[in-house]
Structure 1
Amino acid sequence: MALRVTFVAAARGSPLLAERFDDDRPLDQAGWDEALRAARDLLPLAAAELRYCSPTPRSRATGDALGCAPLVQVALRECDMGRWRGMTVGEAMAREPGAVDAWLADPRSAPHGGESLVAFVTRVGGWLDTRPGEDGDRIVAVAEPSVIRAALVYVLRAPPATYWNLDVRPLSTTTVTGRAGRWHLRFEGGTSSRASGI
């Protein structure tokens, strides 16, 4: 047996084009409505032995709306974007085009003065590897899509640039099974097993 960790992507708090680095805005009304509609399908997740969330207001509120009452985990915070915090990608590009290009091209660079992509993936993977629990325990983590993308890069031992090719939609679920250093991505069956198979 192994641990089973199901990540739930936080509901959206703003339109996609308005997303900002380290965005700490709360859920808007549309996000609340989406989370409440999803709660019925995701209700079985609240039965997990351990329930966590990213420290963002969206993640905490999504976890509460799903009935999880999650414990905030600082290690599941979004990537530290340094002086770009609060900017959109377009705003950062307008101010520092060379720095944005370097950041996108080199996963070890942190021209914004914050955290590199490699450091971010390593931090999230370290959180995953240190989860307590017994064989067969179920864990739920409500997190920002960026955090789930970092976890998937870690689990798959994929090149860091793979991060840019992963699309994690709001309120989607992703399950990994295993133990420290030996994780597997698990694909569930149809819609009916989406939440019940945690």
Structure 2
Amino acid sequence: MPLRVTFVAAARSAPLLAERFEDDRPLDQAGWDEVQRVAGDLLPLAAAELRYCSPTPRSRATGEALGYAPLVQLALRDCDMGRWRGLTLGEAMAREPEAVDAWLADPRATPHDGESLLAFISRVGGWLDTRPAEDGGRIVAVAEPAVIRAALVYALKAPPSTYWNIDVRPLSMSTVTGRAGRWNLRLDGGSPQSSRS
């Protein structure tokens, strides 16, 4: 029986254009309201045998609000953005346009003195590959959208540039099934309840 890992994207803590690299801000009122609106649909995932979350305040708060009581996983932290930490993409571009262009073009680049995109994808994929799968089972992980994008690129064995083409919305679900080194993306048309079968 394959392992099933469902990622739930953390609720938003700021408008999209105000999102910052390695954002440590807690959920704002709009984020809490968003969680309350979808809680009924996402609550069934609390039955997963293992429940995890990224270490960010909004991932932890989203997991707690959904009743998951998740364990924090450091491997699910956002990409280390070095000196760009806390900046928006626009702010980084205004300060260091050539460096941002290099970072966007080369998955091995670290112009910010942080973690490369390739290293980030590998770290998140390493976490995915080390989930216990002896008897199959279900796992739920609340994480930042960037972490989920990295997990999907890794699971699909897609080129790192694919990362920039994946849109992960707040409180959306993405499920992969399989085992270490052999993952499949599962697209469910229904609610989380229908993905329990």
- TM superposition score category, shorter chain reference: over 0.9
- Secondary structure of the residue aligned to 1:109 is coil
**In structure 1, what is the Cα distance between the partners aligned to 2:134 and 2:38?**
29
Structure 2 unaligned spans of 5+? none
Do the aligned residues in 2 keep the contact of 1:108 with 1:118 (CA within 8 Å)? yes
Do the aligned residues in 2 keep the contact of 1:46 with 1:68 (CA within 8 Å)? yes
- Secondary structure of the residue aligned to 1:197 is helix
What is the match of residue 197 of structure 1? 195
Do the aligned residues in 2 keep the contact of 1:103 with 1:111 (CA within 8 Å)? yes
**In structure 2, what is the Cα distance between the partners aligned to 1:111 and 1:24?**
22
**In structure 1, what is the Cα distance between the partners aligned to 2:117 and 2:102?**
12
2:67 matches 1:38: no
Aligned length: 196
- For normalisation by structure 1, the TM-score amounts to 0.97
2:21 matches 1:18: no
Residues 18-167 of structure 1 aligned to structure 2 (within 5 Å): 18-167=18-167
Amino acid of the residue matched to residue 97 of structure 2?
A: P
Do the aligned residues in 1 keep the contact of 2:44 with 2:192 (CA within 8 Å)? no
2:151 matches 1:181: no
**What's the C-alpha RMSD, in Å, of the aligned pairs?**
0.9
**In structure 2, what is the Cα distance between the partners aligned to 1:74 and 1:187?**
27
Runs of 4+ residues deviating >6 angstroms: none
- Secondary structure of the residue aligned to 2:83 is helix
Q: Percent of counterpart pairs with the same letter? A: 81
Following superposition, the deviation at residue 130 of structure 1 comes to: 0.3
What is the match of residue 2 of structure 2? 2
Structure 1 unaligned spans of 5+? none
**In structure 2, what is the Cα distance between the partners aligned to 1:47 and 1:98?**
47
- CA offsets per residue over residues 1-48 of structure 1, 9 Å max, x none? 110000000000011111000000000001001111211111110000
Amino acid of the residue matched to residue 136 of structure 2?
A: G
